[in-house]
Structure 1
Amino acid sequence: MPSTPTSTRAWIVANYPKGLPTFTVPEGDANANATFKLVERPLPALGPEQVLVKTLFLSNDPAQRVGIEPSIPPERLYTPPVKLNETMSALGLGEVIASTAASLPVGSIVYTRPGWTEYAVLDAAACQPRTPLPNGLSITHYLGAFGGPGLTAYYGLVVIGEAKQGMRVVVSGAAGATGSMVVQVAKNIVGCSQVIGIAGSDEKCRWVESLGADICLNYRRATFEQDLVKATDGFVDVFFDNVGGHILDLMLARLKRNGVAVACGSISAYNSQEPTVLKNYFQVITMRLSIRGFIVMDHLAKASETLELYSRAVQEGKLKISDANEQVVPTRFEDIPKTWLRLFEGGNTGKLVTKLIRIENNIIL
């Protein structure tokens, strides 16, 4: 039986970034200003009602970038920022390998916030046990469709956006973890009359349409602005925004009177030093528009109810959840930041998940 580890490797925030974060692996690397640094740290002994968790999968979320942004005052963030020399924050799935909590025996699979670390000592109360998903779905979907992104999609669209049957909806970042769920909820659960997606490639657009979007527009095409005006002829009721920036500005001019822009994310600006300029902001006044920000954590009291709804929808064929909804990247611990940075390259489809692996003798373990 393998011995219980007494130390762990961890990626810490060594410096706050200016623009796109960077990382360095060895101690004393020449890049002294790198955002992330790999270190080894001792693990504390287990206290009462605590567990030792081995990290199996890590969630990659754009909001993690906000938590290390020095220009935002801490009191304006919805979770405490990551302090310098602390482990980079991240949600994930792990296996309990030691426990003093009867509720979480060894072998339990838990959803928690281990951060970028191989092992973590955590309070049992901060770990949620996870059981198998319907239709034999991978547990990694607890980080996507059956996790924060899926819940964000439902609450943002239905509660914040007040989307109703027969409405017209536009979704930016429609090929992402949250956006792809918004498309399906809008079309197949709410019953919106038209769902228009926006994504970053023709291939992504075709996938978004396969989920139920009536049309998906490639924002990288030279004709995108004209295509958007044509697709939203007569204007739309709700804009679910995951991107911000120029696309948000364009959509302020495509909403109906009393229309709603659901402000979920602004990934286009997270690594930018330039402010967002909204040339169409005056239309918020003239068209009586609402821009509504929200945080999914404000709605978690009803999470189990929503996840039950999703489970039924999967079994009834209303939600398409499969390997196509996520990109699980086998990743050595040394490469965790590299996989996370894929978020900002726009290459992933669905949820981007890090699967921690070891390689010995050219064999993946």
Structure 2
Amino acid sequence: MPSESTCFILNEPPHRDVNFDLKDDKSTFKLVKRSLRPLKEGEILIKTLYLSNDPTQRAWIQKGLNADRMYTAPVLKGDIMRSTGLGEVVESRHSKYRPGEVVSCDLKWADYSIIKQANIFNKVENTKVPLTWYLDVLGMTGLTAYFGLLDVAKLKATDTIVISAASGATGSMCVQIAKKVIGCKRVIGISGGADKCRYVESIGADVCVDYKDPKFYSNLKKALGEEKYADVFFDGVGGQILDAMLTLVKPFGKIIACGAIAGYNNIKGSSIVGWPQIVVMRLQVLGFIILDYQNQYELAIKDIVRWIGEGKIKVDKDSFSLVDLSNNFEKIPETWGMLFSSQKGPGKLLTKL
């Protein structure tokens, strides 16, 4: 069994932009070796296979954050950076898990991690589908779309929905579930750039609006057509896009908030001025965290697998981005950083180790 783990610790919690220069003493992350102790009863040693790259991980490392207002424990200075991922059981002192099995779980930016059963979301039971699906369409992002639309929004076929970050991992699943599973009357995506907008339309959106276009707001109003207003806005961005949509959701409509990436590197990016619209239009603003639904994952996964088989959900080489770092472990932070740049392609961003 391995005696040590190669891992990244949080070296300098960032206030604004993340410093990815590992040669800098003030770099956000630092590559180190940590000893692996013998397992205690109930613990499992996991070898990392894939890491999930998610914007929410940025919030976990924010300098000066109030831990009392977090849905999960923050990563503190000196801690090994956390992530969700897929790993293979190497050694187990828990009766439910055996060496060789693959689990979806809370991991670290490390080649080996010691975890508890509580950190495991589910065991990979269906080995007929690619492992990467369990961090993508069958993972947190796919499940966020599933529960966000079906349970939180209670989306109906008669609804018009607008989806921000529609080319991203969660957004692209929302587009497909809204249009091809629920059969919404009109599905409008928001994304950045002509290529990403074309992708969003190719997976089912009636139209996708480019937020980088100077005429974004007028184009958004045009996309709504005769309806003029949306019944539901599904948002993972916040900031100016949320501000615009506050004026374009109909009275008694819903805003479903699953993220706020616009402000993750600079809190000012989350600023909005349209809150009075919530009062005037009697809007429902509903925030949720996918971990609230952990005991329902298995049912959702079965539904999504069925929809894929029926051709309602698209999963191919264009629906996710996989970065193979089998021989470049030191590039884990840099790869995660692609989430906040124009380098990231459509769909989920995954790291293979």
TM-score, with length taken from structure 1:
0.91
Query: d(CA) in 2 for partners of 1:67 and 1:248?
Result: 22
* Aligned partner of 1:187 among 173, 179, 183: 179
Q: How many residues align?
A: 347
Q: Which residue of 1 aligns with 2:139?
A: 147
Query: d(CA) in 2 for partners of 1:123 and 1:305?
Result: 23
Tell me the secondary structure at the aligned position of residue 319 of structure 1: coil
Q: Which residue of 1 aligns with 2:316?
A: 322
Q: Residue 50 of structure 1 contacts residue 99 of structure 1 at CA under 8 Å; is this kept in 2?
A: yes
Query: d(CA) in 2 for partners of 1:111 and 1:303?
Result: 11
Q: Which residue of 1 aligns with 2:70?
A: 77
* Aligned partner of 2:350 among 343, 346, 353: 353
Report the alpha carbon displacement of residue 100 of structure 1 after superposing the two structures with TM.
3.2
Query: d(CA) in 1 for partners of 2:126 and 2:249?
Result: 41
- RMSD value, Cα: 1.6
Q: Which residue of 1 aligns with 2:247?
A: 253
Stretch deviating more after TM superposition (47-56 or 109-118): 47-56
Q: Which residue of 2 aligns with 1:53?
A: 46
1:109 aligns with 2:102: yes
Q: Which residue of 1 aligns with 2:30?
A: 37
Q: Which residue of 2 aligns with 1:220?
A: 212
Tell me the secondary structure at the aligned position of residue 321 of structure 1: coil
Q: Which residue of 2 aligns with 1:335?
A: 331
Q: Which residue of 1 aligns with 2:256?
A: 262
Report the alpha carbon displacement of residue 102 of structure 1 after superposing the two structures with TM.
4.1
Are the structure 2 counterparts of residues 275 and 335 from structure 1 closer, same or farther at C-alpha, using a change threshold of 3 Å? closer
Residue type of the partner of 1:64? Q
Moved over 4 A (4+): none
Are the structure 2 counterparts of residues 275 and 184 from structure 1 closer, same or farther at C-alpha, using a change threshold of 3 Å? closer
Query: d(CA) in 2 for partners of 1:281 and 1:147?
Result: 33
Q: Which residue of 2 aligns with 1:160?
A: 152
Q: Residue 209 of structure 2 contacts residue 216 of structure 2 at CA under 8 Å; is this kept in 1?
A: yes
Residue type of the partner of 2:27? A
Report the alpha carbon displacement of residue 104 of structure 1 after superposing the two structures with TM.
2.2
1:96-135 matched pairs, under 5 angstroms: 96-127=89-120, 128-132=122-126
Q: Which residue of 2 aligns with 1:276?
A: 270
Residue type of the partner of 1:353? L
* Aligned partner of 1:21 among 13, 18, 27: 18
Q: Residue 143 of structure 2 contacts residue 300 of structure 2 at CA under 8 Å; is this kept in 1?
A: yes
Tell me the secondary structure at the aligned position of residue 114 of structure 1: strand
Identity within the alignment, %: 39
Q: Which residue of 2 aligns with 1:286?
A: 280
Q: Residue 262 of structure 2 contacts residue 269 of structure 2 at CA under 8 Å; is this kept in 1?
A: no
1:302-321 matched pairs, under 5 angstroms: 302-321=296-315
Q: Which residue of 2 aligns with 1:8?
A: 5
Report the alpha carbon displacement of residue 219 of structure 1 after superposing the two structures with TM.
1.1
Per-residue deviation, residues 282-307 of structure 1 (Å, max 9, x unmatched): 21111111211111111222221111
* Aligned partner of 1:237 among 227, 231, 234: 231
Q: Residue 342 of structure 1 contacts residue 348 of structure 1 at CA under 8 Å; is this kept in 2?
A: no
Report the alpha carbon displacement of residue 263 of structure 1 after superposing the two structures with TM.
0.9
Per-residue deviation, residues 299-335 of structure 1 (Å, max 9, x unmatched): 2222211111111111111111222221011122100
Are the structure 2 counterparts of residues 254 and 296 from structure 1 closer, same or farther at C-alpha, using a change threshold of 3 Å? same
Q: Residue 195 of structure 1 contacts residue 213 of structure 1 at CA under 8 Å; is this kept in 2?
A: yes
Q: Residue 12 of structure 1 contacts residue 87 of structure 1 at CA under 8 Å; is this kept in 2?
A: yes
Q: Residue 61 of structure 1 contacts residue 343 of structure 1 at CA under 8 Å; is this kept in 2?
A: yes
Q: Residue 12 of structure 1 contacts residue 39 of structure 1 at CA under 8 Å; is this kept in 2?
A: yes
Q: Residue 232 of structure 2 contacts residue 254 of structure 2 at CA under 8 Å; is this kept in 1?
A: yes
Structure 1 spans left out of the alignment, 5+ residues: 357-365
Q: Which residue of 1 aligns with 2:203?
A: 211
Residue type of the partner of 2:253? G
Per-residue deviation, residues 132-153 of structure 1 (Å, max 9, x unmatched): 35xx542111111101111111
Query: d(CA) in 1 for partners of 2:306 and 2:8?
Result: 39
TM-score, with length taken from structure 2:
0.94
Stretch deviating more after TM superposition (76-85 or 309-318): 309-318
Query: d(CA) in 1 for partners of 2:55 and 2:215?
Result: 28
Tell me the secondary structure at the aligned position of residue 324 of structure 1: coil
Are the structure 2 counterparts of residues 209 and 159 from structure 1 closer, same or farther at C-alpha, using a change threshold of 3 Å? same
Q: Which residue of 2 aligns with 1:359?
A: none
Per-residue deviation, residues 166-218 of structure 1 (Å, max 9, x unmatched): 10000000000100011111111122100000111111111111111100111
Per-residue deviation, residues 65-97 of structure 1 (Å, max 9, x unmatched): 111113431010000101110100101111122
Query: d(CA) in 1 for partners of 2:8 and 2:218?
Result: 45
Are the structure 2 counterparts of residues 45 and 24 from structure 1 closer, same or farther at C-alpha, using a change threshold of 3 Å? farther
Q: Residue 200 of structure 2 contacts residue 208 of structure 2 at CA under 8 Å; is this kept in 1?
A: yes
Tell me the secondary structure at the aligned position of residue 339 of structure 1: helix
Tell me the secondary structure at the aligned position of residue 86 of structure 2: strand
Query: d(CA) in 1 for partners of 2:283 and 2:87?
Result: 43
